[in-house]
A = this chain, B = another copy of it.
Amino acid sequence: MARVVVDVRLKSEILDPQGRAVQGALGRLGLNGVTNVRQGKQFVIDIDGELDAAATEKLHEIAGNLLSNPVIEDYELSVEQA
């Protein structure tokens, strides 16, 4: 079994109002020195069997075009074979 984790984050030049709100809240809660907070999405995909090259390519295509919006978001894909 393979576990694929896709992290989707707003590109750094895109404003992140959710992250900004969390940053403000952390300060009010007494956590000092927070310089930046970004909020993103995470997809954990379990796949039966080994992940071959074709499936990995397909996953990158899906992660880059469907799970993330390539205009404003970047994705990071990591594979854990188990």
User: Taking beta carbons and an 8 Å cutoff, which residues of A are in contact with B?
Assistant: 1, 7, 9, 19, 22-23, 25-26, 29-49, 55, 58-59, 62, 66-67
Contacts and interface: CB of A to CB of B under 8 A. Distances in A.
**Would you call the interface of chain A mostly helix, strand, loop, or mixed?**
mixed
A45 B34 contact: yes
Contacts of A30: 58
Given A25-B66, A39-B43, A49 B31 contact: no
11 contacts: A9-B42, A22-B67, A26-B45, A29-B58, A30-B58, A31-B62, A34-B45, A36-B44, A37-B43, A39-B44, A40-B41
Contact of A38 (B39, B44, B48, B66): B44
